[in-house]
Structure 1
Amino acid sequence: MTEATTVPPGSAPPAERSSGPHGGRVLALLLLGHFMAILDVNIVNVALPTLRADLGASGSGLQLVVAGYVIAFAVLLITGARLGRLHGHRRAFHAGLAVFTLASLACGLAPGTWWLVAFRFLQGAGAALMSPQVMSLLQRTFTGAARGRALGLYAAVTSGGVVAGQIAGGLLVSADLFGAGWRTVFLVNVPIGALLLAAGPRVLPRDEGSRDGGLDLPGLLVLTPAVLLFAVPLILGHDLGWPAWGWVSLAAAAVLLPAFVAVERGVAARGGRPLISGRVLRAPGLPLALAVLVFGPGSWGSFLFTTTLHLQGDLELTPLQSGLAFVPCVATFALVGLTWSRLPERWHGWTIAAGFLLAAAGYAVLGPLAGGGVPYEVLTGVIGLGLGVLPIVMTAALRHVPADAAADASGLLLTMMQLGQVVGIATIGTLFLTLARDGGSTRHAEYATGWALAASALIAAVPALALARRTR
């Protein structure tokens, strides 16, 4: 294996790189790293009951194990992209991969719940630095039809990795390798990460970075506490009896929101690059897409969290069985992703609304199915078919964004998708855990949660309808 050829900043890579064997190794390395980052959003879900029994974790502790990763991933995603631009995408990818791999090892060896929560935040930070570099390196390495194939595989990994996490988690926990139980869902990243770190310097193309723009540290220093002050009391409140500090925290988050807007305007006025650009937000249809991406993925993240607990709760499925229950979701989600572009363009916007209405119908029958009967595989297939429209939301949102602002717009949309999951887990997940604790039955909790999930999907359908009219 020879050293990768240096690619000067801003120059196009040689066309032959995309067709040679070296290009295949670049593609495999980048997509495997990205797949690990996406997989770890939900791979821990199936392990939650086992983790709770082993560590004695509370319901809020379980929520933070899941949401902590997503919070760090979402808040730092745009900053991670900026670091790649400033210091070189290859260097940033390796740094993020190293942090992610070491944090995975720490998660797998965590002696208690709160250690695990802390390491999950660190793992999410590593993913936020690693993942944004993948798209940039793919664009620099491949040209023409090869670039199209590479980006298609990237999209498939992004959409399929979330659900694949459920299946992989079930397989690993059921295998109970070396008696490690739930710890294997984290430790599996360590040998893979070490292999990628060893191969990366010899495979990935060099780039020197650019000093154009900056990090927007003021925006980051306001946004991060705002998200934490909002999410943490919602997650911890039900276990602690909704203490006064929780309400103070929520009020402080509400104050920091307009402060963040003011800081971003100040950064733009000084000629800097704010995390969230007003120019991007003014693009036709983009604010509506952001609203869709809060409530749609919010329902999805909380559905995976709560349904996994129910499948291994009152329905007494094994981790493997509960993971396999989501296999049809992968198939139907992929079906939509592979076929929607064949529809006439005037139908795209209406397809988004129809998808969320279908997902809402699937969520609404969670209650009747909570006691068993119709296999959950049917239900997850319906919901996956509905939520498969999420890639169409991204396309519709970016249609009128200027080319030089597309990277920032894409980062903002991905950030909102992750924050939507945090909100869903913090609110609907709390509802489930509170009802399961009070009633002692996950069946009762699942019944009520289904209506909350249906409401979230219906709310997402409203701006989706407006987006259809705006972007047609």
Structure 2
Amino acid sequence: MRNPVLNGATAPLAPRPAMPGTTTVAGPATLHGPATASGPAADSGTTKPGRAGPRAGLLLATILMGQFMALLDVFIVNVAAPTIRTDLHASGAALQLVIAGYTISYAVLLITGARLGHLLGHRRLFVTGLAVFTAASLACGLAQNSGELIGFRLVQGTGSALMIPQVLSLLQLTFVGEARTRAMSVYSAVLASGAALGQSLGGILVSADLFGAGWRPVFLVNVPIGAALLLIAPRVLPRDDRRDPARRRGLDLPGLTVLAAAVTLLTVPLVLGQEEGWPMWGWVCLGLSVLLFGLFMALEARLARRGGAPLVSARVLRAPGMLRAAVVIMTTMAVNAGFLFAVALHLQSALGFSALRTGLAFAFAAVSFGGVGLTWRRLPVSWRSWLPGAGLLIAAASFAGLGLALRGGGDGGAGLYVCLLTLGAGLGLGFSPTFTLALFTVAPQDAADASGLLATVTQLGQLIGVAALGTLYLNRLDVGAHSSAHAFAVTSVALAAVSAAGAAVALGRRRRA
């Protein structure tokens, strides 16, 4: 079955976003109050933790704006897909790679970017990644054919993979105590709202057709922002400590090579499988990816036994609640990506919503998702450990409500927007407290490793969400009258079920707390 997005719809074809860093606490982290730093935080040399003063706010704004641009670019292109296809005479496969190429290079290189930041310095890698991303955005906006655009999108993803893992490491090195908790809340809000706001901003820019440029502003909008950040970042980011002993850990080239191959073999079939009709090569790639992930784990365990520095420290995996938090984060991102995919297709291809109207509809979810990320700490302390599970239950109810609101081919009326608001709030509660907990369980020396790990978990969750839940929607489109409404009704049940399963995982942690 061909993907409707290539025939006029504009849903996300491949999910995306990414991130993590770490912090140090005086014991097992909890959600019952702000963590306080203890022990030898990474404060040697010129990098001082607990940065205070007027420049701290500018530093936070700088790195989070870089984060936001990178996340935005995962989704902003989706609503421009039909115009890109018409203007560049792109084939269906080429258009798929325009949208997915960024995601593939981004996911494959995230762990590498995290380790390079550890070796070469987080400030240096952030600025380098930002420069690559900004230059590639300009090149994308000026591309004259689909081949050029695909190549520049791959370079864009590479820039993001260098830049994104440094964000939370810089937060960890810069803020402590309550200041760090506030910074993480803002970070979670930015991360959580990037997907829906990307859809919204893309719809606005494409509909505006600025200077007759059509789809090009969705890329060119990054250029002035990136240029401004490149002027500001070297002045406000803490200098890298060249004496940091962690720099002697090495790059672990065998581990990086095997992991990159494993992630590539996993992501390419997930991104292209539906468009290509799930051919045999896709299943072979998925099978090989499982084998390579097993080989990667064996190599890392062997390196650790020999006293080396594996890409993902065992301390990160053993941190209290880390694996459970990773499952909840992956579940939340999967249902978020699957929801964006199915709803965008249904609203535009079936209900005839314009790109602008679809984008503005997603803004309801984006605002509530981001708002929860900023405000959940104001809720009573006794509630906080219950929030992730409760949030995913709210999301499950909202998905069921969306299925009812859009049943029979109707546009949902006010019910659509109410469900989007509650859905955003529920996913925000599922994501932000869980993410904060995961970060507050990791020691500062493992900041880069945890950053790459959680970024990859988030990214793969989104890919799996579109591959599984998006495919479910697409495969139900041939069922009788009002096929899109029927397909979304089935998908909404699956979204609700996956959200409820995530809630069970989150509440299972709470029962043993």
Quote the offset at 1:322 in angstroms: 0.8
Q: Alpha-carbon deviations, 1:48-82, whole Å to 9, x = none?
A: 34444545667766655444433433343333232
Question: Where does residue 386 of structure 1 map in the other structure?
Answer: 426
Quote the offset at 1:144 in angstroms: 7.5
Q: What letter corresponds to residue 254 of structure 1 in structure 2?
A: V
SS of residue matched to 1:79: helix
Question: Where does residue 485 of structure 2 map in the other structure?
Answer: 443
**Contact 1:367/1:450 (8 A) holds in 2:** yes
Quote the offset at 1:408 in angstroms: 2.9
Question: Where does residue 12 of structure 2 map in the other structure?
Answer: none
Q: What letter corresponds to residue 53 of structure 2 in structure 1?
A: S
Partners of 2:397 and 2:177 lie apart in 1 by 41
Q: What letter corresponds to residue 419 of structure 1 in structure 2?
A: L
1:109-128 matches, within 5 Å, as 109-113=142-146, 115-128=148-161
Partners of 2:370 and 2:220 lie apart in 1 by 28
Quote the offset at 1:97 in angstroms: 0.9
Question: Where does residue 8 of structure 2 map in the other structure?
Answer: none
Identity %: 54
1:191 matched to 2:217: no
Q: 1:68 to 1:443 in 2, by over 3 A?
A: farther
1:463 matched to 2:491: no
**Contact 1:349/1:396 (8 A) holds in 2:** no
Partners of 1:39 and 1:284 lie apart in 2 by 31
Partners of 1:137 and 1:239 lie apart in 2 by 39
Q: What letter corresponds to residue 19 of structure 1 in structure 2?
A: G
Quote the offset at 1:187 in angstroms: 1.5
Quote the offset at 1:8 in angstroms: 8.9
Question: Where does residue 212 of structure 1 map in the other structure?
Answer: 248
Quote the offset at 1:387 in angstroms: 0.3
Specify which of 368, 374, 378 is matched with residue 413 of structure 2.
374
Partners of 1:145 and 1:322 lie apart in 2 by 38
> Which blocks of at least 5 consecutive residues in structure 1 are unaligned?
1-6
Question: Where does residue 280 of structure 1 map in the other structure?
Answer: 316
Q: Alpha-carbon deviations, 1:282-338, whole Å to 9, x = none?
A: 233222222222222011012112212222222212211111112221332234323
Partners of 1:178 and 1:385 lie apart in 2 by 37
SS of residue matched to 2:273: helix
Higher relative contact order (CA 8 A, sep 6+): 2
Q: Alpha-carbon deviations, 1:327-352, whole Å to 9, x = none?
A: 22133223432343244555434321
RMSD: 3.1
Specify which of 41, 48, 53 is matched with residue 19 of structure 1.
53
Q: 1:97 to 1:397 in 2, by over 3 A?
A: closer
Question: Where does residue 168 of structure 2 map in the other structure?
Answer: 135
SS of residue matched to 1:313: helix
Q: 1:64 to 1:422 in 2, by over 3 A?
A: farther
1:165-244 matches, within 5 Å, as 165-209=198-242, 210=244, 211-244=247-280
1:404-415 matches, within 5 Å, as 404-405=445-446, 407-415=448-456
Q: 1:361 to 1:123 in 2, by over 3 A?
A: same
**Contact 1:70/1:419 (8 A) holds in 2:** no
Q: What letter corresponds to residue 220 of structure 1 in structure 2?
A: L
**Contact 2:395/2:426 (8 A) holds in 1:** yes
Partners of 1:27 and 1:395 lie apart in 2 by 16
Specify which of 472, 487, 512 is matched with residue 431 of structure 1.
472
Q: Alpha-carbon deviations, 1:221-253, whole Å to 9, x = none?
A: 122222222232243333333322222222212
Q: What letter corresponds to residue 384 of structure 1 in structure 2?
A: G
Q: What letter corresponds to residue 457 of structure 1 in structure 2?
A: S
Quote the offset at 1:145 in angstroms: 6.9
Partners of 1:220 and 1:335 lie apart in 2 by 37
**Contact 1:26/1:204 (8 A) holds in 2:** yes
Specify which of 269, 278, 287 is matched with residue 251 of structure 1.
287
1:312-331 matches, within 5 Å, as 312-331=348-367
User: Is the deviation greater in 73-82 or in 356-365?
Assistant: 73-82
Quote the offset at 1:168 in angstroms: 1.4
1:97 matched to 2:97: no
Quote the offset at 1:381 in angstroms: 0.8
Partners of 1:54 and 1:438 lie apart in 2 by 33
TM-score scaled to structure 2, two decimals? 0.80
Aligned length: 463
**Contact 2:128/2:162 (8 A) holds in 1:** yes
Q: What letter corresponds to residue 77 of structure 1 in structure 2?
A: L
Question: Where does residue 452 of structure 1 map in the other structure?
Answer: 494
SS of residue matched to 1:273: coil
**Contact 1:234/1:430 (8 A) holds in 2:** no
> Which blocks of at least 5 consecutive residues in structure 2 are unaligned?
1-41
Specify which of 51, 60, 63 is matched with residue 30 of structure 1.
63
Question: Where does residue 307 of structure 1 map in the other structure?
Answer: 343
Q: 1:425 to 1:118 in 2, by over 3 A?
A: farther
Question: Where does residue 4 of structure 1 map in the other structure?
Answer: none
Q: Alpha-carbon deviations, 1:110-154, whole Å to 9, x = none?
A: 445565444333212211211233334455556777666555443
